[in-house]
Structure 1
């Protein structure tokens, strides 16, 4: 099976070089049979989820360090209302978590800490939305491809049995058609896996920023209760 799959890959590469790539892919798609359609649907849906997450996660990414400095300055100059206004006008999960903590800041830093933890979990679930479906399509694409290959092999052996002769053209043609679904499923899964890993790494980065920023906000609220300035010392260091 490994040798046959390698031969198919070499033949596909040679055909793509000799003919137009798009027309050749269409021909292979048609030769793959009905199981190529569910594989294609998995890839299209997976790519749609990835693109939606890509846009959302990139929009959620902000300059966290500068945002923290701006919040501290707002707390020093205008108090909690000014900081809330800044958070409300800033996109991203860090600003949303800050806003949730500031809403409870008048009840003490412990209440603000609980609000930050609770809202942080909610924001994390928003960031991970759709990834379960993306991982499902990553698993389904090759599985559907393997199923199509098994059915194609059965049909190929049926053709050999009906012909009553092990002709190289019958054997090679049947195996080629059967393996095309596996090839399509694996290629689709590889593409989606790359997108999934990118989304996970982006989410991990945002979660770390939320956690680090939350600690800074809690310390800032605690310092406010003690009447200490927030932005002066750190601004001079920057």
Structure 2
């Protein structure tokens, strides 16, 4: 046989071997589709999916609400200061009422208490501030609950799947690695899904808390500035 014929024959054998090896890989890739794996996760994927939807809905609703409350209110403070300095108290109250913001409602309560001791005004502003903060924090705790429960559901699905696998083995006496690993990798999908939802919810929970903390700091700063403004005439 000539050298060219040997090379051609060897190349054909290698090509055939590669093609045979590629068939299982392609089949595996087809079997490992993301959507199919999620469906194979079983009934546990339903509560995990519902928790994911609940967490995202609350996050985006709170995110835009808190961002609206965190908008710059320097113009409001300037207008209120100008009205107070000019002695037009009713104008300052109207400005705060029309602002429709947490700071505006706090200042409005303080303006309505003018004439009373400063401590009473501070107390009224503080009470309104606590109420406004509680409104901003509404439902944020639910996201924290999602962050804790979702991984638990994932582990529950995996454990239930493992129990089912070993139960089937006890009935069939088939302890081959193919049977064990074939069922186990599918059941691990619930753990992965639960952890993913839990991590995302954990991050979202802390993002919202940091945003609320910034709003609180800003409200406290503006409230102190307002009290100082009221004390100026008496100094």
Q: TM-score range by the shorter chain?
A: 0.7 to 0.9
The CA deviation string for residues 6-59 of structure 1, in whole angstroms up to 9 with x for no partner, is xxxxxxxx99xx66xxx9332111100000000111111111111110111111
Q: How does 1:60-99 map to 2 (within 5 A)?
A: 60-77=69-86, 79-99=88-108
Contact 2:44 2:154 in 1 (8 A): yes
Instruction: Report how many residues are paired.
Output: 208
SS at match of 2:100: coil
* Residues in 2 aligned to 1:78 and 1:182: alpha-carbon distance in whole angstroms: 65
Are the counterparts in 2 of residues 100 and 119 from structure 1 also a CA contact under 8 Å?
Answer: yes
* Residue 42 in structure 1 maps to residue 48 in structure 2: no
1:221 shift after superposition:
1.3
Task: Single out whichever of 129-138 and 58-67 deviates more from structure 2.
Answer: 58-67
TM-score, normalization: structure 2? 0.82
1:139 equivalenced with 2:148 (yes/no): yes
Aligned counterparts, 1:165-180, within 5 A: 165-180=174-189
Q: Match for 1:106 among 111, 115, 121?
A: 115
Cα drift, residue 165 of structure 1:
2.1
CA contact (8 A) 1:39 1:144 kept: yes
CA–CA distance in 2 between the matches of 1:218 and 1:57?
25
Quote the RMSD (CA, aligned, Å).
2.1
Q: In structure 1, what is the equivalent of residue 171 of structure 2?
A: 162
Which residue of structure 1 lines up, in the alignment, with residue 212 of structure 2? 203
Task: Give the SS at the match of 1:107.
Answer: coil
Query: How far apart, CA to CA, are the structure 2 residues paired with 1:173 and 1:79?
Result: 78
User: Which residue is equivalent to 1:29?
Assistant: 38
Give the alignment's TM-score, normalised by structure 1.
0.81
Q: C-alpha separation between the residues in 1 aligned to 2:232 and 2:191?
A: 61
Indicate if the aligned counterparts of 1:62 and 1:92 stay in contact, CA closer than 8 A: no
How far apart are the structure 1 equivalents of 2:182 and 2:112?
Answer: 68
1:78 Cα deviation after fit = 5.2
**Deviation of 1:80 (Å):** 2.0
Deviation at 1:168, TM superposition (A): 2.1
Counterparts of 1:61 and 1:124, CA distance in 2: 12
* 2:62 matched residue in structure 1: 53
1:182 aligns with 2:191: yes
